[in-house]
Amino acid sequence: MHRRRRTALTVSAALLTAAPLLAACGSQAHPGAAAIVGGDRITVATVQGQVADVRQAQNASKQAAQITNQSGQLGRAKLHGLILDRVLDKASADAGVTVTRAEIQQMRQQAVAQYKGEAGLRAAVLQERWIAPDQIDAFLREQIQLTKLGQALGADPTTPAGTKTLGDALTKASEALKVDVNPRFGTWNNQQIQLAEYKAPWITQVTKPAQSAAEAGA
């Protein structure tokens, strides 16, 4: 895989950062909602559905016990990712960035080659990123969005100035969307682009050399 694509795939652990499993009901203000983003509901059922897909894939793995134990905070990781999806979409739209199906397919082909087959890719992202097979394309789309957004903004995330530029764009998008998280699940920090008390400087990791999931905080 080309170095840039390989890095985007392997170092964005913070997009899937861990936190306690979500409960099964929403607040009185937003019944059944884990969060409201841009006026749209992210339901608890949606989050639980993603968690269930990952658990099903983990249970089918030869390393089921190990990888399940390592992902005990899967629920909030999925909520974080669902909110981040919408923030990235907003920032990308503001910058005129789009991602095509062909680009996703191309990156998947590169990832399959990197991991020596589809089975290798599925096993790697399941263990390192808590991603079920049907969630891989969405994950790859995020990586492409981050790369293209940085390019559109003239931001090099390997430099402090580039990191700040990219972060400012995401913060602006996040503020515009007025992210409202059910208080049972925490609060959203517009400046850090993450759920409160969640330490993951993911923007600065976008183009750093590959590192293990443990080193990245997954």
Instruction: Report pLDDT digits (tens) over 145-169.
Output: 999 999 999 998 888 898 899 999 9
- Band the pLDDT of 11: cuts 50, 70, 90: very low
Helix (H), strand (E) at residue 122:
helix 118-129
For the domain covering 3-209, report its CATH number.
1.10.4030
> Which residue would you say has higher pLDDT here, 60 or 170?
170
Give the pLDDT score at 168: 94
Task: List the domain boundaries for the chain.
Answer: 3-209
Give the pLDDT score at 128: 85
Q: Which of 52-56, 63-67, 197-201 has the highest mean pLDDT?
A: 52-56
DSSP classification of residue 205: G
Copy the structure tokens of residue 149.
């957004």
d(CA 213, CA 88): 22
Could you write out the three-class secondary structure of 69-114?
HCCCCHHHHHHHHHHHHHHHHHHHHHCCCCCCHHHHHHHHHHHHHH
**98-121 pLDDT, tens per residue?**
999 999 999 999 999 999 999 999
Mean pLDDT of the chain: 78
